[in-house]
Amino acid sequence: MPKVARPDRDGTHRLAFERAKKKIYATQTCCGICGKPVDFSLKYPHPLSACIDHIIPVAKGGHPSDPSNLQLAHWACNRQKSDKLYAKNKDNDLEPMISNRVLPQSMDWSSYRPK
C-alpha cells in the first residue's frame, strides 16, 4: 500500500499549519490532552517536549491546518492519543466521543530521564 502524503506535512496546508503552530506555541502553555504545563525548553525526543496535536485527527477527517483543530500537547500524550476518538462510558461500552482528555497515562513522564 503506497504511503499517502499528509497535507499538513508535505502538501497544500503546510504553510498554514506552521503559522498556526507558531501562534499556539506563543499563546498556550498547557497540554490539551493531560492538562499539565508544557516545558518549552525540552526538545524532541524527550517525551514531555512540545508538539501540536490535531484534536480531530487528520485520519478521521479533521482539518490539517485549521487553528480550531490544533492544540498544544506533550509528545508522549500525542503519541498515546494517536488517532483515537473513543472513550469508555460507565457500562464499559465504547461510545463515540470527540474529546482529548480520556486517555490513561502509561507512566509518570515528569520523572523521565533519557539514557
Are 47 and 109 in contact by the 8 Å Cβ rule? The answer is yes
Predicted confidence at residue 39, as pLDDT, reads: 95
Q: What is the Cα–Cα distance from 27 to 111, expressed in whole angstroms?
A: 26
**Closest among 45, 23, 31 to 115, alpha carbons compared:** 45
pLDDT tens digits, 22-78:
999 999 999 999 999 999 999 999 999 999 999 988 888 889 999 999 999 999 999
Identify the sign of the CA torsion 85, 44, 64, 34.
positive
Q: Which has more confidence, 102 or 44?
A: 44
Confidence of residue 15 (pLDDT cuts 50, 70, 90): very high
Q: What is the pTM of this model?
A: 0.72
Q: What is the Cα–Cα distance from 29 to 24, expressed in whole angstroms?
A: 9
Q: What is the Cα–Cα distance from 80 to 105, expressed in whole angstroms?
A: 8
pLDDT tens digits, 85-97:
755 555 555 555 5
